[in-house]
A and B are shown apart, each in its own frame.
Chain A
Amino acid sequence: MTSKPDAPAVETGMLKPIKATEVFRKYESMFFFVVLIILNAFITPEFLEWGTLRNTLVQVFPVMMVALGMTMVISSGGIDISVGSIMAISGATTARLYVTGVSSLGLEPVGLAPALACGVAAACMCGFLNGILIAKCKIQPIIVTLVVMIAGRGLAQIILGELSTSLLFTSFADFGSLRIGGVIPVQMLIVVVIVAAMIFVVKKTNFAKRVEAIGDNRRAARLVGINTVWVTVGVYTLCGLLCSIAGNMEAARISVVNVGSLGLLVELDAIAAVAIGGTAFSGGKARIMGTVFGAIVVQLVTIIVNMNNIPDKYSLLFKAVIVIIALWTQRKK
């Protein structure tokens, strides 16, 4: 607004008038979070209990992992709707190697660690492929990931060789329902570690700055020498990695890999979590804690519905309303 060649210091230290809407935009996910906590505290029996918190965090785990990856993708100005299929591919790869083996190659079932490593690698490769098609071949992210979403379930089934493989009574399934010290679910520990790592990445690394720059202005990013192709590939690969954590942990927890249902529709909840969390869909700053609370908000909606015997369809409506409010407050002035 102003140009003051003579008086550069005039504005320095001037108080910015803070607007209520801006505060709301910034802490929107916290707002929904608090509202839902209060609402739940009144209407849901036994809500303010350790067990509910534990349930919430365990159930929200896959959505939260995927949403963290989605946050980075959206920060770069893209979108990834193939996340659910990548979860299925990753779980299928792990289960095939760990339980079934590949008889045509004379491959006996292998141990958990190598099987998991392959599962993670498969998901990363899917993310890598997404990134290459988007950045190098310049195809729209929504198209590329739609293709991978559709093709992915088929691929997962080819990898698994059947529709579902049971992990019941395996040490992998035990790990999925492990409670550290009999109290803290292993998922909670993973969430803490991953969220801390993601916060570090976003706050401290060049990578995140470059992702944000690409999301904010891709042309300008190229012209300051950012390698937009590899940064984009990196973002989608990171998203793939987080999908693999989501897919494998969820498979272990429910002790089955079903290529039809593992990760089904997770992209919707993940995108909702990012929207509520305040990361702009046009690209820009990644808000990790926003997404964390956004994911919990999405889950709290589900919990209200489940624990109060409300039909599931209302939870979908409720989520839709929250997402609309979130996006409405995000809109450009």
Chain B
Amino acid sequence: MKKVLLFVVLGIVASALMVSCSKGPSDTSDSKSQPDDGKTVEGPRVAYSSVGDPNPWFLAFSAELEKEAEKRGFNFRVTHAQAKVEKQIADVEDIVVQKPDYLVLGPVETKGSADALRIAKKAGVPVIVVNRDIDGIAGEDFVTKIYSDFEWIGEKMCELVHDAFPADAKEIKVVELHGTAGGGNTIGMQKGLRKKMEAYPNMKIVSSQPGNFDRATAMKAMENIIQSGVEFDAVVGHFDEESIGAIQALKADGKKTGSNPAEGEIIVVGNGGTKDGLKAVKAGLYHNIVSVTPYYAGQVFDAIEAHAKGEELPEYIRVDDIVINKENIDEHMASGF
């Protein structure tokens, strides 16, 4: 009797573990099935080691890569590191054993993930770095880096906040809800925001708190900022989730957000392009979004094909982003991730 139960319990654990691992942050097809099933594509083999953070952006990016691979006849597989460096290193160790033609690496950490470059180099697998920056030398440790220009995004967010106020505004006080400390994107946006601010002497950051790309964290941070009595006119979120957390907290406190500072509305500007972010822009609560598009799989495969042909590649390939506002929201509504 007890043994039977023990097996039942073990069964539950095992299946749960399998679910949480294999499902991972993806409801696209299972990672392994692609190369192994009957319709295996004969083309060059590309493996993608994803950050695998439970964040919709990574799901969208990974799905996009997979679609593009199929279109171009590549044999593609993906692993999810669940935002853990150790898992990413282990993933890459597994990947290089199968000797793929290319490794696409989305680094979990700038420093920690650099180990993956060494492993790939030793195995002779060329690496394309995507999503974020990594420590290493282009042309030596990896082929090229492809991702959004986060410094530009930071500058753009600064500019959008500035432009939302009348030109003669005496002072624009900004709250920043920043991303996970140490991440390449966080660093870039913080740098851009501050750099641009030098050009606008009437702007200043009154509080900068971690939102960790997470709605609940950002919401708590915003509530505490409101409570601490700091006065502010605008909020800059490093990601839509943070902006929405801020909007929610402001709303609960009876404050309005929107695009009209003259009526006491707080200007919220952020980086992203999630479904919820777009909805909030449409609802008029979220002033502007600077996109951080996950839809650049084309550029990644262009780079792979070019490298395969022996072409020279720049060490950084910029992914272009756009500003989404009330005027163009309808045409971007479908692109939400």
Contact = CB atoms under 8 A, between A and B. Distances in A.
B19 A154 contact: yes
A151 B12 contact: yes
Contacts of A259: 54
A286 B91 CA distance: 47
Contacts of A179: 252, 254
A191 B153 CA distance: 43
B168 to A, nearest CB: 31
Nearest to A133: B9
Interface residues of A, number: 49
A253 B245 CA distance: 10
Given A51-B226, A153-B20, A256 B215 contact: yes
Interface stretch (A22-30, A107-115, A164-172): A164-172
Contacts of B214: 261
Given A169-B279, A261-B214, A255 B224 contact: no
Given A157-B20, A163-B25, A255-B244, A182 B54 contact: no
Contacts of A151: 12-13, 15-16
Interface in B43-58: 54, 56
Contact of A306 (B16, B220, B229): B220
Contacts of A256: 215, 241, 276
Contacts of A45: 228-229
Nearest to B219: A254
A155 interface: yes
**Looking at B2, B23, B216, which has the most chain A CB atoms within 10 Å of its CB?**
B216
B223 A164 contact: no
Contacts of B20: 150, 153-154, 157
Contacts of A51: 226-227, 253
Interface in B17-35: 17, 19-20, 23, 25, 27
Nearest to B23: A157
Interface in B208-228: 209-210, 214-216, 219-221, 223-224, 226-228
B122 to A, nearest CB: 33
Contact of B227 (A155, A163, A182, A307): A307
A143 to B, nearest CB: 8
A173 B5 CA distance: 41
B5 A166 contact: no
Given A51-B227, A254-B219, A150 B5 contact: no
B224 A150 contact: no
Interface centre among A45, A52, A163, A309 (most CB of B within 10 A): A163
B134 interface: no
B219 A168 contact: no
B19 A147 contact: no
A169 B173 CA distance: 28
B227 to A, nearest CB: 5
A55 B223 contact: yes
B111 interface: no
B83 to A, nearest CB: 10
B195 interface: no
A313 to B, nearest CB: 11
A168 B228 contact: no
B252 A254 contact: no
B280 interface: yes
A182 B255 CA distance: 12
B275 interface: yes
Contacts of B15: 151, 154
**Contact size range, B:** 35 or more
B296 to A, nearest CB: 22
A329 interface: no
Nearest to A303: B224
Interface string A116-158: 0000000000000000010001110000100100111111011
A294 to B, nearest CB: 20
Contacts of A173: 248
A261 B23 CA distance: 16
Nearest to B9: A147
B81 to A, nearest CB: 14
Nearest to A163: B54
A41 B9 CA distance: 50
B226 to A, nearest CB: 7
Contacts of B227: 46, 49, 51-52, 55, 307
Nearest to B83: A260
Contact of A168 (B12, B23, B253, B276): B276
Nearest to B26: A163
A59 interface: yes
B72 interface: no
A46, A49, A59, A168: residue with the most chain B Cβ atoms closer than 10 Å = A168
A150 B228 contact: no
A58 B223 contact: yes
B283 interface: yes
Nearest to B220: A59
A167 to B, nearest CB: 9
Interface of A: 44-46, 49, 51-52, 55, 58-59, 133, 137-139, 144, 147, 150-155, 157-158, 161-164, 166, 168-169, 173, 177, 179, 182, 185, 250, 253-256, 258-261, 303, 306-307, 309, 312
Given A44-B228, A158-B19, A307-B228, 20 more contacts: A45-B229, A46-B227, A49-B227, A52-B227, A55-B223, A58-B223, A138-B2, A154-B15, A154-B16, A154-B17, A154-B19, A155-B16, A157-B20, A163-B54, A168-B280, A253-B219, A255-B215, A306-B221, A306-B224, A309-B209
17 contacts: A137-B2, A150-B13, A151-B12, A155-B19, A161-B27, A163-B59, A164-B56, A166-B276, A166-B279, A168-B244, A177-B252, A182-B254, A255-B276, A260-B54, A261-B214, A306-B220, A309-B209
